[in-house]
Amino acid sequence: MEMEEKFDAIIVGAGASGLGAAYSLAKSGFNVVVLERGQRIGAKNVYGGRIYSHVFEKEIPGFKEDAPVERWVTGERLTFLDDSSAATLELSSDFSSENSFITTLSKFNEWLGKKVEETGGLVISGIKVDDLIIEGSTVKGIVAGEERLFADVVIDAEGVNPILAKKAGLRGDWNPHEVAVGVKEVIKLPESVIEDRFNLNHGEGAANLFLGYASRYGFGGGFLYTAKDTISIGVVVRVDSAIANRISVYDIVEDFRLHPYISKLIKDGSPIEYSAHLVPEAGIHGVPKLYGNGILLTGDAAGFVLNRGFTVRGVDFAFLSGVIAAETIRKAHEEGDFSASTLSHYEQRLKESVVFRELENFRKVPNLLSNLRFFETYPKLLCEILKDAYTVGEDSKKIYPLLKNKMRDRVSMITLIRDIISVVRNL
């Protein structure tokens, strides 16, 4: 690399957001470089398991034929867990619209990296950006070890730990209640076993989210996604909740794996990888300043993740925010001005996009999900009531008295009804 070579744009981080920006800029002939600290693209990326495809189909020609899709999701389950039992809501359909698919993020980002290279973008792995070069209040480039690289603009796509964004003065750090730690295990099982156990046809996949026991009844939940010949299971716990309840985070996913409901589903499969990653949880409330002189913030670093309890969307939002950043840079390039006032176009365009529309639509969700009844009272109640209702002794039991009895001292009927209404309204 030339020592003082100047790029049109330097992108920090080869996640979906950095690669989205690089893909879009390289396609229009810009001289871009993506710097990734991982030894290869994908080596540092960890998520749950499912990607919504709409954004990608729109932006990448021939996406469906080419992308590393392992299974299209046809089965959706939401499970309430107590210490030993489970109550599941299931939706299974043919989803002919092919709305979301299961893959690993490591593989997916590696594929996106290839797309960037095919369009003429440069991705360099094994390089960590240590600092930004800031002159006055303008970002001019980056420092990586001994090297200094310059560009018209830097896209900060560093992900959920906003080390550089803090240095640029774009944001402060997350508070413990604004992020959750996700811990994951990947289990190897033959393809046919997965299909039999989850009642899937070839190429179909199941997504299962869990409330209750998985997060030790604290804010968070569990997940299970069936990939081709692996199953990803994991637990997500908000960091404030882990601290307050002194949760042994190093044991949560292993205990989840050994829960009778999960252990049956993954029987005879052994873990082949263990991983952990943070996820933003604050929704629209966690979105910081998105631009400055010579810098734009994308993806998780900007808090673009929507968690509705039963769906998590981050990868497609990350990619789209990168594409919109690229669009802004094209405009700034035309105007020959990369100051904050021109780059503010990025925020305007984001506000018109599905990213802000969704975060705005579900603005109350982080608040709603701050209600512990969803994570403790209701999962336990539901499991107990169903257990009792299905236990036939001398006389079978009527549901309503059972419900009233179980709810005593735990939650009033009014509160229950109010919670149901707020879920229906806001989720």
**Virtual torsion, Cα 128, 21, 315, 425, nearest 10 deg:** 130
Amino acid at site 398 = K
Task: Answer yes or no whether residue 272 interacts with other proteins by CB under 8 A.
Answer: yes
The piece of 33-41, 61-69, 71-79, 214-222 that touches ligand FAD (CB under 6 A) is 33-41
Q: Which is nearer to ligand FAD, 132 or 381 (CB)?
A: 132
CB of 147 to other proteins, least distance (A): 11
Instruction: Map residue 361 onto helix, strand or coil.
Output: helix
Output 50 or 380, the one with its CB closest to ligand FAD.
50
* Binds other proteins (CB under 8 A): choice among 20, 42, 113, 366: 42
Q: Which residue in 314, 326, 332, 358 binds ligand FAD (CB under 6 A)? A: 314
Q: At what angle do helices 315-335 and 105-118 cross, to 10 degrees?
A: 30
Binding to ligand FAD by residue 154, rule CB under 6 A?
no
According to the binding rule CB under 6 A, does residue 116 interact with ligand FAD? no
Pull the structure tokens for residue 11: 């992108």
Q: 192 to each of 126, 185, 199, how far by Cα in Å?
A: 37, 20, 10
Decide if residue 51 touches other proteins (CB under 8 A).
no
Partner touching 50 among ligand FAD, other proteins, none, CB below 5 to 8 Å by kind: ligand FAD
Q: How far is the CB of 10 from other proteins (least distance, A)?
A: 15
Do 180 and 219 touch, CB atoms closer than 8 A? yes
The residues, any chain, with a CB within 8 Å of residue 328's CB and separated by 6 or more, are: 296, 342, 343, 345, 346, 349
For β-strands 71-81 and 86-92, DSSP reports them as antiparallel
What binding mask, one character per residue, do residues 275-314 give for other proteins by CB under 8 A, x or -? Answer: xxxx------------------------------------
Per-residue x/- track, 342-381, ligand FAD (CB under 6 A): ----------------------------------------
123 within 8 A of 110, measured Cβ to Cβ: no
Task: Decide if residue 237 touches ligand FAD (CB under 6 A).
Answer: no
Cα 87 to Cα 203: distance, rounded to the nearest angstrom: 26
Residue 157's binding partner among other proteins, ligand FAD, none (Cβ under 5 to 8 angstroms by kind) is ligand FAD
> Smallest gap, in angstroms, from Cβ of residue 122 to ligand FAD?
14
Q: Which of residues 121-180 bind other proteins (CB under 8 A)?
A: 125-128, 144-145, 160-161, 163, 173-176, 179
Of the candidate residues 7, 23, 30, 47, the single one contacting other proteins (CB under 8 A): 47
Shortest spacing between CB 257 and other proteins, in angstroms: 8
Who contacts 163 (Cβ-Cβ below 8 Å, separation ≥6)?
Answer: none
Could you give the CA distance from residue 369 to residue 209 in angstroms, rounded to a whole number? 14
Task: Measure the N-to-C terminal CA separation of the chain; round to a whole number of Å.
Answer: 50
C-alpha separations of 374 from 258, 309, 370, 382 in Å: 23, 10, 9, 11
Q: Least CB distance from residue 103 to other proteins, whole Å? A: 10
Q: If binding is defined by CB under 6 A, does position 54 make contact with ligand FAD?
A: no
Distance in angstroms (rounded) separating the CA atoms of residues 198 and 191? 11
The beta strand positions in 55-171, using DSSP E, are 71-81, 86-92, 100-102, 122-125, 131-135, 138-144, 147-156
Rounded CA-CA distance 194/94 in Å is 18
Q: Which of positions 197-216 make contact with ligand FAD (CB under 6 A)?
A: none
Told to check if 83 binds other proteins by CB under 8 A, we report: no
* Under 8 Å between Cβ of 288 and 303: yes
The reply on whether position 208 binds other proteins by CB under 8 A is no
For the chain, state the CA radius of gyration. 23
Asked whether 212 and 247 are in contact (CB, 8 A), the reply is no
Under the rule (CB under 8 A), what is the footprint of other proteins?
37-40, 42-47, 104-106, 125-128, 144-145, 160-161, 163, 173-176, 179, 181, 183-186, 230, 232, 239, 242-243, 246-251, 254-255, 257-258, 263, 268, 270-278
Under the rule (CB under 6 A), what is the footprint of ligand FAD?
12-18, 35-38, 44-51, 105, 128-129, 157-160, 182, 234, 236, 277, 279, 299-300, 305, 312-316, 318
